[in-house]
Protein backbone atom coordinates (compact mmCIF):
# COMPACT_ATOMS: atom_id res chain seq x y z
CA UNK A 1 0.00 0.00 0.00
CA UNK A 2 1.38 3.38 -0.93
CA UNK A 3 1.63 6.34 1.41
CA UNK A 4 -0.08 9.65 0.64
CA UNK A 5 2.68 10.50 -1.83
CA UNK A 6 2.42 7.25 -3.76
CA UNK A 7 5.61 5.73 -2.33
CA UNK A 8 5.50 2.02 -1.61
CA UNK A 9 7.65 1.09 1.39
CA UNK A 10 9.54 -2.16 0.87
CA UNK A 11 11.22 -4.63 3.15
CA UNK A 12 10.84 -4.72 6.93
CA UNK A 13 9.86 -1.04 7.06
CA UNK A 14 7.05 -1.71 4.59
CA UNK A 15 5.81 -4.63 6.68
CA UNK A 16 5.87 -2.52 9.82
CA UNK A 17 3.95 0.30 8.13
CA UNK A 18 1.37 -2.10 6.72
CA UNK A 19 0.94 -3.63 10.17
CA UNK A 20 0.45 -0.17 11.68
CA UNK A 21 -2.15 0.75 9.05
CA UNK A 22 -3.99 -2.50 9.79
CA UNK A 23 -4.06 -1.69 13.50
CA UNK A 24 -5.35 1.80 12.70
CA UNK A 25 -8.15 0.24 10.67
CA UNK A 26 -9.11 -2.10 13.51
CA UNK A 27 -9.02 0.83 15.94
CA UNK A 28 -11.25 2.92 13.65
CA UNK A 29 -13.73 0.06 13.36
CA UNK A 30 -13.75 -0.39 17.13
CA UNK A 31 -14.33 3.32 17.73
CA UNK A 32 -16.94 3.93 15.04
CA UNK A 33 -18.74 0.66 14.28
CA UNK A 34 -21.02 -0.84 16.89
CA UNK A 35 -21.49 -4.03 14.84
CA UNK A 36 -17.73 -4.58 14.77
CA UNK A 37 -17.53 -4.08 18.55
CA UNK A 38 -20.31 -6.61 19.14
CA UNK A 39 -18.76 -9.19 16.83
CA UNK A 40 -15.28 -8.62 18.29
CA UNK A 41 -16.55 -9.11 21.83
CA UNK A 42 -18.39 -12.27 20.78
CA UNK A 43 -15.21 -13.56 19.11
CA UNK A 44 -13.18 -12.84 22.25
CA UNK A 45 -15.74 -14.69 24.36
CA UNK A 46 -16.05 -17.66 22.01
CA UNK A 47 -12.35 -18.11 21.18
CA UNK A 48 -11.50 -19.71 24.55
CA UNK A 49 -14.48 -22.04 24.14
CA UNK A 50 -12.99 -23.21 20.84
CA UNK A 51 -10.07 -24.75 22.74
CA UNK A 52 -12.53 -26.69 24.90
CA UNK A 53 -14.86 -27.76 22.06
CA UNK A 54 -12.25 -28.71 19.45
CA UNK A 55 -11.04 -32.30 19.41
CA UNK A 56 -8.29 -31.66 16.86
CA UNK A 57 -6.14 -28.82 15.54
CA UNK A 58 -8.27 -28.75 12.37
CA UNK A 59 -11.45 -28.20 14.38
CA UNK A 60 -9.74 -25.47 16.38
CA UNK A 61 -8.70 -23.68 13.19
CA UNK A 62 -12.22 -23.99 11.78
CA UNK A 63 -13.81 -22.59 14.93
CA UNK A 64 -11.45 -19.65 15.39
CA UNK A 65 -11.12 -19.06 11.65
CA UNK A 66 -14.88 -18.75 11.27
CA UNK A 67 -14.84 -15.97 13.89
CA UNK A 68 -11.98 -14.13 12.18
CA UNK A 69 -13.76 -14.30 8.82
CA UNK A 70 -16.80 -12.59 10.36
CA UNK A 71 -14.57 -9.77 11.62
CA UNK A 72 -12.88 -9.43 8.23
CA UNK A 73 -16.25 -9.24 6.45
CA UNK A 74 -17.46 -6.62 8.92
CA UNK A 75 -14.33 -4.53 8.30
CA UNK A 76 -14.93 -4.69 4.54
CA UNK A 77 -18.62 -3.88 4.96
CA UNK A 78 -17.74 -0.90 7.14
CA UNK A 79 -15.23 0.29 4.54
CA UNK A 80 -17.88 0.13 1.80
CA UNK A 81 -20.34 2.04 3.97
CA UNK A 82 -17.74 4.68 4.83
CA UNK A 83 -16.94 5.32 1.17
CA UNK A 84 -20.63 5.58 0.30
CA UNK A 85 -21.31 7.96 3.20
CA UNK A 86 -18.34 10.07 2.07
CA UNK A 87 -20.28 11.05 -1.04
CA UNK A 88 -23.34 12.32 0.79
CA UNK A 89 -26.63 11.27 2.31
CA UNK A 90 -28.73 11.29 -0.89
CA UNK A 91 -30.10 7.94 -1.97
CA UNK A 92 -28.65 6.21 -4.99
CA UNK A 93 -29.73 2.77 -6.13
CA UNK A 94 -26.15 1.52 -6.60
CA UNK A 95 -25.09 2.83 -3.19
CA UNK A 96 -28.03 1.07 -1.58
CA UNK A 97 -27.22 -2.12 -3.45
CA UNK A 98 -23.56 -1.97 -2.37
CA UNK A 99 -24.52 -1.48 1.28
CA UNK A 100 -27.04 -4.33 1.10
CA UNK A 101 -24.46 -6.65 -0.47
CA UNK A 102 -21.91 -5.76 2.20
CA UNK A 103 -24.47 -6.57 4.85
CA UNK A 104 -25.31 -9.83 3.08
CA UNK A 105 -21.61 -10.78 3.08
CA UNK A 106 -21.48 -10.31 6.85
CA UNK A 107 -24.67 -12.36 7.20
CA UNK A 108 -23.17 -15.17 5.14
CA UNK A 109 -20.02 -15.28 7.29
CA UNK A 110 -22.13 -15.25 10.45
CA UNK A 111 -24.15 -18.16 9.05
CA UNK A 112 -20.91 -19.98 8.22
CA UNK A 113 -19.63 -19.43 11.76
CA UNK A 114 -22.89 -20.66 13.25
CA UNK A 115 -22.97 -23.79 11.10
CA UNK A 116 -19.30 -24.49 11.87
CA UNK A 117 -19.74 -24.12 15.62
CA UNK A 118 -22.94 -26.18 15.72
CA UNK A 119 -21.49 -28.96 13.54
CA UNK A 120 -18.29 -29.25 15.57
CA UNK A 121 -20.01 -28.95 18.96
CA UNK A 122 -22.55 -31.63 17.99
CA UNK A 123 -19.86 -34.20 17.17
Q: Is 33 a catalytic residue?
A: no
82: left (phi over 0), alpha (psi -120 to 50) or beta: alpha
Q: Which of 39, 59, 74, 90 is catalytic?
A: 74
Listed residue (34, 36, 121) closest to 76, CA to CA: 36
Sign of the alpha-carbon torsion through 61, 62, 65, 67? negative
| Residues catalogued as catalytic | 74
Amino acid sequence: MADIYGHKPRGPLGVMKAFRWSLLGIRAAWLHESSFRLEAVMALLLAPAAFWIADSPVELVLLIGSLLIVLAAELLNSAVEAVIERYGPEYHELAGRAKDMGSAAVFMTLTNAGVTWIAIAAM
